[in-house]
Amino acid sequence: MKRYSVFAVAREALRYHQGWSRAWKSPEPKKNYDAIIIGAGGHGLATAYYLGKNHGLKNVAILEKGWLGGGNTGRNTTIIRSNYLQDASAAIYEKARSLYETMSQDLNYNVMFSPRGVMMLAQTQHEIRGYKRTAQANALQGVSTEFISPEKVKSLVPIINIDGPRYPVLGALWQSRGGTARHDAVAWGYARACSDMGMDIIQQCEVTGIRHENGQVQGVETSKGSIDCQKLGIVVAGHTGVLADMAGFRMPVEAVALQALVSEPIKPCMDVVVMANTVHGYMSQSDKGEMVIGGGADGYNNYTQRGSFHHVEETVRALIETFPIISRLKMLRWWGGIVDMTGDRSPILSKTPVGNIFINCGWGTGGFKAIPGSGWAMAELMAKGHSSLTEEFSLNRFKEGKFIDESVAAGVAH
């Protein structure tokens, strides 16, 4: 792999940019790997990357049904924050946020991490109390957040209307070190680094079956033939249920559509991320100037990557009240992704009933922000069989009643 640097750019500028090599290789699968990761999205690639980097496991294949980063990694609203209420969540999301800070240097790939600050508006008395509690919890967890006044909100976001009429802004939970990153670059950066370590990223390779004997995984059947493996990681978000079915167990997740949209590009007007959980909407401005808008998930099972129009309408209608400036904007693009929701709205990073099959799923509506932390923890779990970061996210928690209840703490926008 050629390192990217200012000197590389200068060198290539002098020879008509003919010398750039492909960022990652596209090999045919081998017969056998130490570990196979199903799913070349952010979480899958990050898992493979940290398996190699932290645990020296480099005979790894990452199988992808479609194209790399083409699922939820390329469909989210790129928000990064770690202001969660529960200790287990704060630990893994804060690990992820801190890894984002150094990711560009670590991967030698510019992921355009922009710690512009994330604000969650308190628009009801309940939310004020809830977010003050979260701020206190975060202080104990070592996550830097604070509860700020409406005046501070207005000074940080001049385009906001804090007077209502329906939902006035009464304050906000502010995480100044949260922000956004370029989502595709995160997948591409990990892919390039994985490929550089000798791992095989195999795209357009659909897993059609999972082989196991005596409770131990043997390998997978794919559209490119049968591949053996010692360890298998399933990291497929929305299709978790389908893959679990192939392996012969059930997962407590349901697949639903979550949608997002962007406006036409406008001049810079908002340099922080604003989330309004009471009205189900969140918004930030991309580097291109588009307003990136997300809302709540649909309420019914869906695998089609398109959702209900009225949810978009609800989201935009609510945001217009808080941001009157966007009322005349044209919306440019609108898309959906399939997210896997768990009962307590927290992820599952766990061993499974089949030996040496590990699963990383259930990130629901909030997976992008967790990619590096999730990969870090999942790699440790796969390499060592346990990880302090994943312990509480075990599959057993549903049977034992040890939920990590973020559905209350996180409201809707995740």
Partner 1 sequence: MLVFKCPYCGIEADETELSPGGEAHLKRFGPGSSDEELEGYLFNRENPKGVHFERWRHVYGCGKWFHAARCTATLEVFGTYSAQTFEPPKEIIDIIKAKRPGWKWRNLS
Question: Can you give the binding site for partner 1, defined by CB under 8 A?
Answer: 239, 241-242, 250-255, 298-304, 308-310, 342-343, 398-399
Q: Min. distance of Cβ 244 from partner 1 in angstroms?
A: 9
Q: Which is nearer to partner 1, 150 or 343 (CB)?
A: 343
Q: Min. distance of Cβ 400 from partner 1 in angstroms?
A: 8
Enclosing H/E stretch for 375: helix 371-384
What's 114's DSSP letter? B
Q: Min. distance of Cβ 3 from partner 1 in angstroms?
A: 42
Q: Which is nearer to partner 1, 127 or 344 (CB)?
A: 344
Q: Which is nearer to partner 1, 21 or 304 (CB)?
A: 304
Q: Which is nearer to partner 1, 213 or 400 (CB)?
A: 400
Q: Which is nearer to partner 1, 241 or 372 (CB)?
A: 241
Please, where are the H alpha helices in 197-269? 240-247
How far does Cα 147 stand from its chain's mean position?
A: 25
Q: Which is nearer to partner 1, 20 or 303 (CB)?
A: 303
Beta bridge partners of 119: 174, 274
Residue 201: which of 380, 112, 69 has the closest Cα? 69
Q: Which is nearer to partner 1, 134 or 240 (CB)?
A: 240
For 344-363, give the secondary structure using H, E and C.
CCCCEEEECCCECEEEEECC
Tokens of 159: 């385009």
Tokens of 236: 């497929």
Q: Min. distance of Cβ 340 from partner 1 in angstroms?
A: 8
Please, where are the H alpha helices in 17-74? 42-55
Enclosing H/E stretch for 226: strand 225-234
**Whole-Å CA distances, 276 to 154, 237, 285, 306, 368:** 14, 25, 15, 23, 19
Q: Min. distance of Cβ 392 from partner 1 in angstroms?
A: 16
Q: Min. distance of Cβ 399 from partner 1 in angstroms?
A: 4
**Rounded CA separation 32/312 (Å):** 46
Mapped onto helix, strand or coil, the DSSP state of residue 188 is: helix
Q: Min. distance of Cβ 397 from partner 1 in angstroms?
A: 10
**Rounded CA separation 334/306 (Å):** 9
Contact between 209 and 216 (Cβ < 8 Å): no
Q: Min. distance of Cβ 343 from partner 1 in angstroms?
A: 5
Angle at 151 between CA 178 and CA 324, to 5 degrees: 80
Q: Which is nearer to partner 1, 4 or 403 (CB)?
A: 403
